[in-house]
Amino acid sequence: MRHSHKPNVITVKSTFYLLLLMILATPAAFAQEGEVLPKLSPLTRRYLQEARERPARQEQPGSASYIYKIGAGNALYVSALIKVGPSVDEDRLQALGVRVGTKAGAIWTVQVPARNVEPFTRVAGIDYIQLDEPLVPALDSVRKTTRVDSVHAGHGLPMPYTGANVVMGVVDAGFDYGHPTLFDTTGTQFRVKRVWEQKNSAGSPPAGYAYGTEMTDPAVMWVKGTDNGETHGTHVAGICGGSGFGSINDNRYRGIAYESDLVFVGITPDKSQWVNTGAADMIDGINYVFRYAESIGRPAVVNLSWGSPLGPRDGSGLFSQALDNLVGPGKIFVCSAGNNGDNKIHVRKIFTGADTLVQSFLNIASTPVGRRTWVDMWGDAGEMFCAKVSLYHDTAAIASTGFICLDDGVHNMYLIGSSGDTCFIDITTSASEFNGRPRIFMEFDSRISDSICIAVKGDRGTVDMWSTFVHNTTGYYSSFNSYGRPWAVDGNSDISISDIASTRSAITVGAYASKIGWTSLAGNPYTYVTYVGRGRLVPFSSHGPTVDGRVKPDITGPGLTVASAISSYDTSFSADGSDAMFVVSSYHDPIGGRDYPYGVLSGTSMSSPAVAGIVALMLQVKPDLAPREVMDIMTETAIHDNYTGQAVPGGTSTWGNGKVNGYGAVKRAVQLSSGVDGPAAGAVDYAIYPNPGTGLFSITRVSPDAENLRVELSDMLGNSILADTWSVTVGYNNRQYDLRRFGSGVYILKVSSRRGYSAMKIVVE
């Protein structure tokens, strides 16, 4: 238990407690001969320490810094990502009641009984344990500025593309299952195929998982109504895949892939429960969508408009490693870059023999639980650095922790301010994390009015540090400031993308302002004209690059005042609610009598699903597109204007590779699907729809001249089963084939002209 009346020096625990911390910091001490036990993340070590201080943590949730789940018999579980080695013993995990979820290569998601966290950290064969760290959400003219309106109209394309036969996964929270935008354009066919509420223990979990409730019956979804009464997930889903039914003219606020199949993963519970969520939940949710899509033979794109405030931001985090192992051809992941482009949350220092110190003041933001923040520092592999915290009253330093170096320890410290109040500081150090890089993690709980200064010293190498805090899925961002001292530095917004956004295989999306004003349902006009000009990068859009120097974000999409569906369960958007000004339209259901709003929101949370919807259109054309191909196509076709500047090889740390061009991307996918690798190629440019399908297919071609084409169908062994001559005219041509008599399977369709041929797979379900 902490006390506020202590001298203004650091506290020292009892000898017994110091020995305990040394043991926890060096778990190899528990190993049997020849065994090496797991390294532990800072929050994992903090959890163990707090569990020792408060054993009740094993039966009821403690700090909101950890991610809990309720299992059978109301047993408490903690989520985690682990990195396993070849000698991991699953029998030992099972004996501890540990439930394994997704296996993404060497990265696994697990649910650990709270009472067994400590023995779990002693299981040999696990390289690293990272108890889940809280994550945060990172939202008319979108279709026009991205040129998707031309895709929907089919201008210059073989056919209109709408996302049909593609699975659109949304991993989020705040879904309104009855919203009319989740139906088709006639408002009659419900398009949500699966829902997994991860924190709802009332029903049965999906196959392969031991937690949450899966819903596959629309009637059950409608009775349930919502996962948690908020609106983020509804708005995101409406952007990437909403039909817009019930909005102005039933199409004003239509989404991008409005005929895609929708799968929702609800990652937080009702507001009355613990509301944090973490990386293990996300990985399980992404894998759930991909597995469902694979089971029905369709491609999938998953959108995640959430960010991770902790981690190395170099693509080596456990989430990033797992995600890289899950994606592939027909399995694409899109995420938001983050909303810290105008926050000074970052400091970087490159040490030299003549420049060994960096200092900055930490301006801690207020949160619902006081002035709290984390500072996460990462150095270069094999290099040493140390850090200290000092309190300044006016210009004088009045208390200091002294420098703490990489001793693999947990240091519980406090400093007394000039008014007698206390600043509590917990410092966890690691000489080598899962990626070989050193790390110092600080947690602050400040009750003082004095200035807080962080100093970091090293002889060589680079140290990056970031400050943020998460409480109940809301991020609170502190800043670094020099306060005018010539020996201190200001923070910056460089590398302000989240750790998730640094993932190599992720399509990471920044935000620009496609629209800066709106008129509310009440008829009142609003504008952001003093904040940003139309077409410009929105100031909040997080900057790259990654710590290892890669360009992120990859692309930008519309992210300011984006109109989409609003959850009818979120009372803040009611007529007298705090967010009523953002509602722009409402649909009254004549049968159920419920009002369903549409409204504008802003953030990279909104630009990400716009790009995810475009990916779905691309997958409709070419279902086997891989992440690298999607990135290359978007880079090749991106829009550049006076605001983005000319295309820069490799892109920039703000715009990425420019503004997303839905029309250009889909048109390029059509070329690739037909085997056309460039203007001089002799391949025949055609498209098949739908593919996969039930056996009734259409072949479309925009032909430059009139000619006879040869159409041949063969099975996978090369046996010819159909041959036909197709006479095409200049312009658009369409021909239908009924393949149902050949039965389900995979076939090769070859279309030949006098200049060449193209062949592609066709799937009959």
Tally Cβ neighbours within 10 Å of residue 652.
19
Query: With contact defined as beta carbons under 8 Å apart, do 481 and 360 qualify?
Result: yes
All structural domains of the chain, each given as residue ranges with its CATH number in brackets, are: 38-132 (3.30.70), 137-339+501-663 (3.40.50.200), 346-492 (2.60.120.1290), 679-764 (2.60.40.1930)
Residue-wise pLDDT tens digits, 225-248? 999 989 999 999 999 999 999 988
Q: What share of the chain in percent tops pLDDT 90? A: 64
Cβ contacts of 295 within 8 Å, gap of 6 or more: none
pLDDT, residue 321, reads 93
pLDDT value at 21 more than 60: no
State pTM to two decimals.
Answer: 0.82
Dist CA 689 CA 700 (whole Å): 8
Query: With contact defined as beta carbons under 8 Å apart, do 304 and 500 qualify?
Result: yes
Q: Which residue has the higher pLDDT, 57 or 393?
A: 393
Please state which of the ranges 149-158, 426-435, 463-472 shows the lowest mean pLDDT.
149-158
Query: With contact defined as beta carbons under 8 Å apart, do 362 and 469 qualify?
Result: no
- Name the token pair of 115: 């009472």
Q: How confident is the model at residue 628 (pLDDT cuts 50, 70, 90)?
A: very high
> How much of the chain is in helix, strand and coil states, percent to nearest 5?
20, 35, 45
Please state which of the ranges 93-107, 421-435, 728-742 shows the lowest mean pLDDT.
728-742
Dist CA 429 CA 494 (whole Å): 24
- The Cα-based distances of 303 to 268, 339, 540, 739 in angstroms read 16, 16, 20, 34
Dist CA 335 CA 506 (whole Å): 7
pLDDT, residue 65, reads 57
Dist CA 609 CA 558 (whole Å): 10
DSSP per-residue letters across 595-660 = EEEEEEE-SHHHHHHHHHHHHHHHHHH-TT--HHHHHHHHHHH-B--TTT-S--TT-BTTTBT-B-
Please state which of the ranges 116-125, 193-202, 515-524, 742-751 shows the lowest mean pLDDT.
742-751
pLDDT, residue 57, reads 46
- In single-letter form, the type of residue at position 544 comes to G
Backbone angles phi, psi at 609, to 5 degrees: -65, -25
Residue-wise pLDDT tens digits, 363-414? 999 988 899 999 999 999 999 999 999 999 988 999 999 999 999 999 999 9
Helices assigned H by DSSP within 30-161:
42-53, 90-95, 117-120, 142-145, 148-153
Mapped onto helix, strand or coil, the DSSP state of residue 88 is coil
Backbone angles phi, psi at 52, to 5 degrees: -70, -40
Dist CA 463 CA 599 (whole Å): 42
Cβ contacts of 91 within 8 Å, gap of 6 or more: none
Give the total residue count for the chain. Answer: 765
Query: With contact defined as beta carbons under 8 Å apart, do 606 and 302 qualify?
Result: no
pLDDT, residue 137, reads 60
Tally Cβ neighbours within 10 Å of residue 542.
30
Sheet holding 595-601, edge to edge: 562-565, 595-601, 583-588
pLDDT, residue 52, reads 78
**Which DSSP category does 561 fall into?**
S
pLDDT, residue 632, reads 93
Q: What share of the chain in percent tops pLDDT 70? A: 88
Q: How confident is the model at residue 34 (pLDDT cuts 50, 70, 90)?
A: low
pLDDT value at 7 more than 80: no
Mean pLDDT, residues 47-58 taken together: 70
Mean pLDDT, residues 504-516 taken together: 95
Mean pLDDT, residues 86-93 taken together: 90
Q: How confident is the model at residue 747 (pLDDT cuts 50, 70, 90)?
A: confident
Residue-wise pLDDT tens digits, 671-702? 887 654 443 345 677 777 777 778 888 887 77
Mean pLDDT, residues 482-500 taken together: 95
Residue-wise pLDDT tens digits, 308-344? 888 999 999 999 999 999 999 999 999 999 999 999 9
**Which among 369, 423, 404 is positioned nearest to 9, based on CA atoms?**
423
In the chain, the N- to C-terminal Cα span, in Å, equals 63
> Over the chain, what is the mean pLDDT?
87
Please state which of the ranges 61-75, 182-196, 513-527 shows the lowest mean pLDDT.
61-75
Task: Reduce the secondary structure of 291-330 to three states and give it as a string.
Answer: HHHHHCCCCEEEEECEECCCCCCCCCCHHHHHHHHHCECC
**Which among 230, 231, 134, 212 is positioned nearest to 473, based on CA atoms?**
134
pLDDT, residue 156, reads 81
DSSP per-residue letters across 538-557 = PTTSPP---TTS----SEEE
Dist CA 198 CA 213 (whole Å): 6
Q: How confident is the model at residue 715 (pLDDT cuts 50, 70, 90)?
A: confident
pLDDT, residue 221, reads 97
- The Cα-based distances of 459 to 356, 413, 462 in angstroms read 5, 26, 10
Query: Which helix (DSSP H) or strand (DSSP E) does residue 430 occupy?
Result: strand 422-430
Mapped onto helix, strand or coil, the DSSP state of residue 470 is strand
pLDDT, residue 677, reads 45
Give just the sign of the alpha carbon dihedral 510, 514, 516, 518: negative
Q: Which residue has the higher pLDDT, 278 or 546?
A: 546
**Which among 557, 567, 564, 566 is positioned nearest to 535, based on CA atoms?**
557
**Which among 509, 474, 516 is positioned nearest to 600, based on CA atoms?**
516
pLDDT, residue 201, reads 87
**Which among 62, 67, 91 is positioned nearest to 77, based on CA atoms?**
67
Q: Which residue has the higher pLDDT, 1 or 648?
A: 648
Tally Cβ neighbours within 10 Å of residue 395.
7
Q: How confident is the model at residue 143 (pLDDT cuts 50, 70, 90)?
A: confident
Cβ contacts of 109 within 8 Å, gap of 6 or more: 79, 80, 81, 100, 101, 102, 280, 281, 283, 284, 322
Q: Give the pairing of strands 366-367 and 479-481.
A: unpaired
Query: With contact defined as beta carbons under 8 Å apart, do 532 and 482 qualify?
Result: no
Q: How confident is the model at residue 741 (pLDDT cuts 50, 70, 90)?
A: confident
**Which DSSP category does 204 fall into?**
P
Mean pLDDT, residues 270-297 taken together: 80
* Helix (DSSP H) and strand (DSSP E) numbers for the chain: 13, 41
Cα maximum dimension of the chain: 92
